[in-house]
Structure 1
Amino acid sequence: MPEVIFNGPDGRLEGRYHHSKLPNAPVALLLHPHSQHGGTMNNKVVYTLYHAFVRKGFSTLRFNFRGVGRSQGKFDNGQGELSDAASALDWMQTYNPNASACWVGGFSFGAWIGMQLLMRRPEIDGFVSVAPPANAYDFTFLAPCPSSGLIVHGTADDVVPEASVSKLATKLGTQKNIRVKYRQVEGANHFFGAHLDPLNEVVDQYLSEAIADRPSTPMAESALVAAAN
């Protein structure tokens, strides 16, 4: 899990990167929750997502937004953080020019940033959003949502009401040509404290299904299926 430092729009950004040994491996970028509320790339939910993608053979990056850890700059209410995420994706693509697929995942505030990045970068063809803050941030920019993906929420979330996320998932699920799955983790609060294992199982199952459904090349398909198993 090598530490990496790369250039962002407002200074250097700190990350942790795993480079897959599989040929033409897909890439995944993971985004952490709100910087002003203790969010970092070492958040347990982000860490869980990171390792779920690594196990499936992805080249995977998680990083600190500006002003967090050793990342330079100051919190910018989402606009700057979206630029940070775009720079992180650029960095990964430099080292993975032949990636067979591109995914973004995020938790809470990071899910909101990830979905915005999804709208701006057509090469992103899959997403995992955990506890997207649909009650606090506007998600109407997903009109339409360009990619299939997974939304996960805890039934005992007292920060983001389940009803607001269910409404978002239902709206996205009615769109043509994409499939947005909505999964609940029974009893989990916003931070999934005692429910990281069930969260991991949901994400793991979804990625296995997505890999099987969306192969890219014969070589990449066989390698990814082997990694998934």
Structure 2
Amino acid sequence: MTQQKIVQEIFLPSIHDGIRLEARLSYWKTKENVQEQEDKAVIISHPYGPLGGNNNNNVVVAVENFFLRKGYLTLAFNFRGSGKSKGRTSWTGEPENNDFRTMLNFLANSGKISDDNIVIIPKISGVIIIGYSYGSLMATSLTSSPTQYPFTTSFVLISLPLSVIWFLTFFRSSAYQTNLQNLLSSSSTRVLFIFGDNNNVLGNERWNVVELKGVDHFFVYQQMEDVLIDVIQKWLQVDSTSGSEN
């Protein structure tokens, strides 16, 4: 069959409190029975909702389109209080941590939302967890998840807001610093940090830091987005030559 692009708006109850979360699910259908195909996936999160962040953010969409062109299943979601997601942004980030886990669980459970609501998706062989700005901070919380997933995970953290963690999490900075350290101390998880003119951390053999010269926090120009995508593309190429799952 010829490839068919599938784009669906779906709503998932957050595992935190059941709040309805909006997500945009996209992939290429390559087999008549979608469940017989196997895809890699990315989950993409957005900047701080009260300042206008949502899954239609320019960086979110640029990253989403890139991975979709590469044949990945993409899941770009809205945290509570953003887009069509219900509720409101929390002070601590804890509910948003679980909003993120909700998306990961959705993929791990083969598209199951509830006993009577299952979205048909391909089998997922690996997931790249992508966070931009506030979303990257929330992504670090997934390192502390007790759940064992049936696929490998890696991380791309774009413009991680280290200097304002105290503001975004109501002075719960220590918890997020611990999450970050857990991520960095992992011997098996691949991590890509991308900053604009701000090298806040150093790298080792499992995680890379890229500083983008002349790029601001918001990637306001097309050429800034192009540079970002080029960095991710090169990281994926290194990953594929190393024989990693993601």
TM-score bin, normalised by smaller chain: 0.7 to 0.9
Corresponding residue for residue 227 of structure 1: none
For the aligned residue pairs, the C-alpha RMSD in angstroms reads 2.1
State which of 151, 159, 165 in structure 2 corresponds to 1:131: 159
Q: Check 1:38–1:193 CA distance in 2 against 1; reply closer, same or farther (3 A cut).
A: same
The Cα shift of 1:14 comes to 0.9
Q: Which piece of structure 1 moves more, 96-105 or 52-61?
A: 96-105
Could you tell me whether the CA contact under 8 Å between 1:10 and 1:73 is conserved in 2? no
Corresponding residue for residue 64 of structure 1: 78
Measured in 2, the distance between the counterparts of 1:151 and 1:122 equals 24
Could you tell me whether the CA contact under 8 Å between 2:143 and 2:182 is conserved in 1? no
Corresponding residue for residue 33 of structure 1: 47
1:5-16 equivalences under 5 Å are 5-8=11-14, 9-16=17-24
Corresponding residue for residue 4 of structure 1: 10
The Cα shift of 1:106 comes to 0.7
1:125-204 equivalences under 5 Å are 125-137=153-165, 138=173, 139-145=177-183, 146=186, 147-155=189-197, 162=198, 166-168=199-201, 170=202, 173-174=203-204, 179-194=206-221, 195-204=224-233
The one-character-per-residue Cα deviations of 1:100-126 (angstroms, maximum 9, x if unpaired) are: 212100101000011111332554521
Corresponding residue for residue 212 of structure 1: 241
The Cα shift of 1:97 comes to 7.5
Could you tell me whether the CA contact under 8 Å between 2:143 and 2:179 is conserved in 1? no
What is the number of equivalent residue pairs in this alignment?
202
The Cα shift of 1:20 comes to 4.1
Could you tell me whether the CA contact under 8 Å between 1:13 and 1:72 is conserved in 2? yes
Q: Which piece of structure 1 moves more, 2-11 or 28-37?
A: 2-11
Q: Check 1:41–1:76 CA distance in 2 against 1; reply closer, same or farther (3 A cut).
A: same
The one-character-per-residue Cα deviations of 1:166-216 (angstroms, maximum 9, x if unpaired) are: 233x1xx34xxx511111222111101111111111112212322332344
Could you tell me whether the CA contact under 8 Å between 1:56 and 1:208 is conserved in 2? no
Q: Which amino acid aligns with 1:82?
A: N
Could you tell me whether the CA contact under 8 Å between 1:24 and 1:99 is conserved in 2? yes
Greater share of residues in strand: 2
The one-character-per-residue Cα deviations of 1:137-178 (angstroms, maximum 9, x if unpaired) are: 2423233323112111112xxxxxx1xxx233x1xx34xxx5
Q: Which runs of 5+ in 1 are unaligned?
A: 156-161, 217-223, 225-229
Measured in 1, the distance between the counterparts of 2:191 and 2:42 equals 13
Q: Which runs of 5+ in 2 are unaligned?
A: 1-6, 31-36, 112-120, 166-172
Q: Which amino acid aligns with 2:227?
A: P
Q: Which amino acid aligns with 2:136?
A: A
Corresponding residue for residue 4 of structure 2: none
Percent of pairs identical after alignment? 27
Which structure is larger by alpha-carbon Rg, 1 or 2?
2
- Between 1 and 2, higher relative CO (CA 8 Å, sep ≥ 6) is seen in 1
Could you tell me whether the CA contact under 8 Å between 2:39 and 2:122 is conserved in 1? no
The Cα shift of 1:28 comes to 1.2
TM superposition score normalised by structure 2: 0.75
